[in-house]
Amino acid sequence: MATADDVRRIALALPGAQEKLAWGMPTFRLEARGRIFASLDPDDLAMGVKCPKEDREELIAAEPGKFFLRKGHDDAFAWIRVRLDALDDEELRAILVDSWRQAAPRALLDAHPDLAAGPGD
């Protein structure tokens, strides 16, 4: 079971990542342009990560105990919420790296080819 401390540890280990409080919650963003790639919900029980809108419905349908949308907030954005207690350390890292990858500018991806390729690439 993942915790907010695990999110913080893994997110801040990614290249260019920094933590900044925004909207009353911790966000994890890239120094370059301040692009947010993850945020912790105020209760520390879930996190928000980047996710293409076209993928969200399938993820939620496949694992509704893990993935969800915060109605009225996530609807318009390419984000999804993930319940931390449904993740182990390996899956947490994979989700955070994928979100980081979506937010990272090309130069940062080029500087870290080990993180730039997704699963199966």
**Least reliable range by pLDDT among 3-7, 21-25, 36-40, 103-107:** 21-25
Mean confidence (pLDDT) of the chain: 92
Predicted TM-score (pTM) of the model is 0.92
Buried b (16+ CB within 10 A) or exposed e, 25-47: ebbbbbeeeebbbbbbbeeeebb
Nearest in space to 17 (alpha carbons), one of 77, 76, 93: 93
Judged against a pLDDT cut of 60, whether residue 119 lies above it is answered with no
Instruction: Report the pLDDT value the prediction gives residue 58, as an integer from 0 to 100.
Output: 96
Instruction: Report the pLDDT value the prediction gives residue 51, as an integer from 0 to 100.
Output: 96
Judged against a pLDDT cut of 80, whether residue 96 lies above it is answered with yes
Judged against a pLDDT cut of 60, whether residue 120 lies above it is answered with no
Q: How many CB atoms lie within 10 A of CB 4?
A: 16
**pLDDT confidence tier of residue 32, bands split at 50, 70 and 90:** low
**pLDDT confidence tier of residue 76, bands split at 50, 70 and 90:** confident
pLDDT in tens, 50-69: 999 999 999 999 999 999 99
Instruction: Report the pLDDT value the prediction gives residue 117, as an integer from 0 to 100.
Output: 72
Are 104 and 16 contacting, i.e. CB atoms less than 8 angstroms apart? yes
